[in-house]
Amino acid sequence: MAGQAIAPARRAGAALVLLAAIAAGISWLTLRPVPDDLPRGGPIARALSHDEAAARQNVYPTTHDEARARLDALVASGAAAVGPGGGGWLAYATIAGDLLDRARLTGSFDDYARAGALYARAFAVADPGFGPHLERAAYNLAVHRLAAVEPDLTRIDHYAMAPDPPTAATLLGMRGDLLFYRGQYREALDLYQQGRRRAPSLAASMRLATYWAAMGDPARALGYLDEAQAQLSGAQQQVLAGIETQRGRIAFARGDWVAAERHYLWANDIFPGHWATEQQIALMAALRGDRARAATLFAAVASRDGSPEAMDALAGLARAGGDFATSAAWAARADAEWRRRMRLLPEAAYGHAIEHLLAFGSPAETLRVALANYAVRPFGESATQLAAAYLANHRAQDAIRTIEPVLRSGWVASGAHVVAMEAYALAGEGDRADAQRRKALAINPHALDRNPAMVWLGH
């Protein structure tokens, strides 16, 4: 491509109801009209367990630790190749890409920040018009800097040579992501479908799975996950585990906890040691009432990976057990990490930090962060969080004003209906509150459970 790289709520009652609803994440209610593109049928190879994959091949990492070690080596070798004297833009972009891959694996905000600095360095040394535009656009999407994405995509549009079909499909998908996170769902779907028609890919299938999950069609979402898995060859354990985890989230959001836990356990068997999967397994243990096991699992993730979500979970479990000193200690540790992340990469941290603040923060700060998050990504999830923050500040009418467009938008989530229920109830509109309660329970029978494990809101 002409030299371009394609390379407080402190009140436990109502607050926990809101937290439980938001924790359910994307949920589903009804089937939507059939889109132009349907998931392609075809055989799906059974995912291999870690032991089976390790015995059959040595190409792909089969555990989190193996994947981490491989990326550590790539980052180190890239840095050594650049050396103290610096290097060309492609060398910086390569290291940035490895850091981004490691950040996606580990959740490290430090790696995300280092990757961003290296992309900036790559453009600083590149000749005008050259540089890793596509890679930097993908990075900015990953850290939720939506305003920074389109300029790089536009620059690619003006390359001397037109993008090849896979790159053109990627551009369509990324522009679809921008629309999706701005709440323009139908326009996003059109671009997602165009991209899939231009060049079918794992990424295109996963985008459509995410779209149909959010729009209330779990069957179609699962179909696209199957399509994604069918495109894989070899023991790509990390990707397969990610697909299995998505299946678990679909089941969880519908209230099928048995199926959700089965998917999470299988994901961990496919690709052991991944902190995000382990947190989901710990959550399911808490929901089953096994608080001791949940606390053990969360503590392991918190100490090994520094996960503030796990720290929040431990704070919630301790509070539910009446151990307020331990709860406060874990909440303080989580708070410090969330604040560090918001200083480092605010747009990327806002949405998760809100969940912490709803459980353990002040209403005023929760609202401030929720407004900043909504300004960056005004879609269904952030709007629901903003409405919950208004409720924490006893601003029922503002919550209603924020959540009603979500209910009309096509976004289908039990959490949105629970927040609407609470807002109408606080405003004295009992009939409308009851209607929202019924809708929430129709999506997820557990939507109103007052379970202390729900203080953890990891997605």
Asked, for residue 95, whether it belongs to a domain, the answer is yes
Whichever domain contains 227, its CATH number is: 1.25.40.10
Say if CB 260 and CB 266 are below 8 A apart. Answer: no
- This model's pTM is above 0.75: yes
State how far the alpha carbon of 279 is from the alpha carbons of 63, 195, 274, 295, in Å: 16, 33, 9, 10
Give alpha helix (H) positions in 199-274. Answer: 202-214, 218-230, 237-253, 257-270
Asked, for residue 89, whether it belongs to a domain, the answer is yes
Residue 47's domain spans which residues?
Answer: 12-455
Q: Which strand (E) or helix (H) includes residue 157?
A: helix 149-157
Asked, for residue 122, whether it belongs to a domain, the answer is yes
- Cβ neighbours for 238, distance < 8 A, ≥ 6 positions apart: 60, 61, 64, 67, 105, 271, 274
> pLDDT by residue for the chain (459 residues), tens digit each?
333 333 333 333 333 333 333 333 333 333 333 345 667 666 677 788 878 878 887 788 999 999 999 999 999 999 888 877 778 999 999 999 999 999 999 999 999 999 999 999 999 999 998 999 999 999 999 999 999 999 999 999 999 888 899 999 999 999 999 999 999 999 999 999 999 999 999 999 999 999 999 999 999 999 999 999 999 988 899 999 999 999 999 999 999 999 999 999 999 999 999 999 999 999 999 998 999 999 999 999 999 999 999 999 999 999 999 999 999 999 999 999 999 999 999 999 999 999 999 999 999 999 999 999 999 999 999 999 999 999 999 999 999 999 999 999 999 999 999 999 999 999 999 999 999 999 999 999 999 986 644 544 433
pLDDT at 457: 40
pLDDT at 186: 96
Nearest to 134 by CA among 103, 164, 107, 113: 164
CA 432 vs. chain centroid, Å, equals 31
Asked, for residue 287, whether it belongs to a domain, the answer is yes
Asked, for residue 416, whether it belongs to a domain, the answer is yes
Asked, for residue 1, whether it belongs to a domain, the answer is no
Asked, for residue 103, whether it belongs to a domain, the answer is yes
pLDDT at 454: 53
Q: How many domains does the chain have?
A: 1
R_g over Cα of the chain: 22
Asked, for residue 153, whether it belongs to a domain, the answer is yes
